[in-house]
Amino acid sequence: MRGLDQSAGDVRPAEPPVSLSLNGVSKHFGPVRAVDGIELAVRQDEFLSLLGPSGSGKTTLLRIIAGLELPDRGAVMVGGTDVTRLPPYRRRIGMVFQNFLLFPHKTVAENIIFPLRMQGLGKTECGERLSWALGLLKLKGLEDRYPNQLSGGQQQRVSLARGLISRPTLLLLDEPLANLDRELRAEMEVEIRRYQKELAIPFIYVTHNQEEALTMSDRIAVMHNGVFEQVAPRVEVYQRPATSFVASFVGQSNHLVATVLGDEGEKLVINWQGHTLSVPRKGSFAKGDIVRYSIKYEDVKVTGQRKTPIERKGQNFIAGKLRDIIFKGQTANFILALDHGCELVASGSLRETDAQIGQDVIAEWPHEAGACFRDGA
């Protein structure tokens, strides 16, 4: 049966083939370790984001894949072929940049088909591909306009069309939405993911914006100091960070430096500023170890109501005073000032709490929430 793998009486969908492989890819600029020993396999149907702060190595890695930069070590494989030393035009890889790089003196149609002209394709094939790209990117009727006659979103669509018109085996996108306003960016996030699913080719998307990565990606590779901290499905990266860096970079979290008191099966008991907390245990810890516990704002809830110990079973709780409420539209951040001078931040709807600024409140969250790491890990 097509698309199915049958073995030992089990019928499962076959895994899509690997389109891109990076094998031990490294690149140094003098003493700077831009990319260090990267291993990665990207499937044919996958939208993968390279997420990390500025200087983490994302764009350098993208340039190596594109052929704009040669690695010091390692291999780049596209469709099972080693392309490490091939020039960009022989890799069948499309690329879309942060700055749209449209020719101001060329029309939309001329900008889009420019790569085909460079390849020497005939007029008939250029016209067929142009019609396909205009339809896909919703640009029909704009063929004769010039870039300065387009909105930012339309210019980005033209840039995407130019990257796709050569029918690449994969598309690289280097922060293509960075210059758009928030509303346009949100619209384009949905559109770009739709294009990827329709085309069924891998998109590799560089960004420092976690909202973009979480909105569009199937998997996220979090980069820091030239290495991958975690490569996993987007929900796993958000809910189960592999390192303290990922926990701090993805989402908004409280970071509590605490001391291990002991463990209770799958839970670790820690002391933070005199408060005893039960938290998820991942790995082995000894009594007295210093750990960093990360708990996301949205996992912490605030209430002005006193509860009995029975009602708090399975919950951590800390008493404090509500110092401020930061309204964010659909949600709000509640900032708690604690007796020892530290603060905790909770997040939720204003409708979900009865607490008022200046009131004594309780912050509480489930024992299962958050992640605990050895300090510095």
Q: What is the CATH number of domain 15-245?
A: 3.40.50.300
What Rg value do the Cα atoms of the chain yield, rounded? 25
Cα 320 to chain centroid distance, Å, stands at: 34
The pLDDT of 258-287, averaged and rounded, is 90
For the chain, what's the residue count?
377
Which of 52-61, 130-139, 327-336, 348-357 has the lowest average pLDDT? 348-357
Give the rounded percent of residues in the chain with a pLDDT score beyond 90.
64
pLDDT digits (tens, 9 = 90+) for 206-218: 999 999 999 999 9
Higher pLDDT, 323 or 328: 323
Give the whole-angstrom CA distance, residue 205 versus residue 323: 40
In 3D space, the residue among 153, 115, 158, 155 whose CA is nearest the CA of residue 134 turns out to be: 158
| Spatial distance between the Cα atoms of 327 and 347, rounded to a whole number of angstroms | 10
- pLDDT level of residue 325 (50, 70, 90 thresholds): very high
Query: Residues of the chain with pLDDT > 70: what percent?
Result: 94
The set of residues, in sequence order, having a beta carbon less than 8 Å from that of 294 and lying 6+ positions away, is 241, 244, 247, 248, 253, 254, 255, 256, 370, 371, 372, 373
Q: Which string of DSSP letters, residue by residue, matches 40-90?
A: EEEETT-EEEEE--TTSSHHHHHHHHHTSS--SEEEEEETTEE-TTS-GGG
| C-alpha–C-alpha distance, residues 119 and 153, integer Å | 27
Which is it for strands 219-224 and 47-51: parallel, antiparallel or unpaired? Answer: parallel
User: Is residue 88 predicted with pLDDT exceeding 70?
Assistant: yes
Cα atoms found within 13 Å of the Cα of residue 126, Cβ hemisphere only: 15
Residue 101 has pLDDT above 90, yes or no: no
Where are the domains positioned within the chain? 15-245, 252-374
Q: With bands split at pLDDT 50, 70 and 90, how would you rate the model's confidence at 9?
A: low
Q: What is the pLDDT of residues 157-177, one digit of tens each?
A: 899 899 999 889 999 999 988
Q: Report residue 7's pLDDT band, with 50, 70 and 90 as the boundaries.
A: very low
Is the domain defined by 252-374 classed in CATH 3.90.550.10? no
Q: Which of 8-12, 95-99, 371-375 has the lowest mean pLDDT?
A: 8-12
Q: What tens digit of pLDDT does each residue of 113-136 get?
A: 988 887 778 888 889 999 999 998
Report the pLDDT value the prediction gives residue 352, as an integer from 0 to 100: 75
Residue with tokens 């149609």: 109
pLDDT of residue 309: 52
168 CB-near residues (< 8 Å, 6+ apart) = 92, 93, 94, 201
- CB-based burial of residue 202 (10 Å sphere; 0-12 exposed, 13-18 middle, 19+ buried)? buried
Distance (Å, whole) CA 201 – CA 210: 22
* Residue pair 274/320 in contact by the 8 Å Cβ criterion: no
Average pLDDT, rounded, for the chain: 89
305 conformational bin, left if phi > 0, alpha if psi -120 to 50, beta if neither: beta
pLDDT at 347: 93
Q: Give the pLDDT band (50/70/90) at residue 367.
A: very high
Tell me which of 72-76, 89-93, 163-167, 303-307 is least confident: 303-307
pLDDT at residue 5, as a whole number: 47
Positive or negative, the CA dihedral 229, 233, 234, 240 is negative
Q: Mind listing the pLDDT tens digit for each residue in 218-234?
A: 999 999 999 999 999 99
- Both structure tokens of 113: 């088909």
Burial class (CB in 10 A: 0-12, 13-18, 19+), 243: middle
Predicted local confidence at residue 2, as pLDDT: 39
Q: Which residue has the tokens 């890695």?
A: 61
**What CA–CA distance (Å, rounded) separates 89 from 66?**
9
Cα torsion through 153, 154, 158, 160, rounded to 10: 30
- Choose among 301, 311, 283, 289: nearest CA to 352: 301
Are 49 and 40 contacting, i.e. CB atoms less than 8 angstroms apart? no
Q: Which of 2, 25, 27, 4 is nearest to 14 (CA)?
A: 4
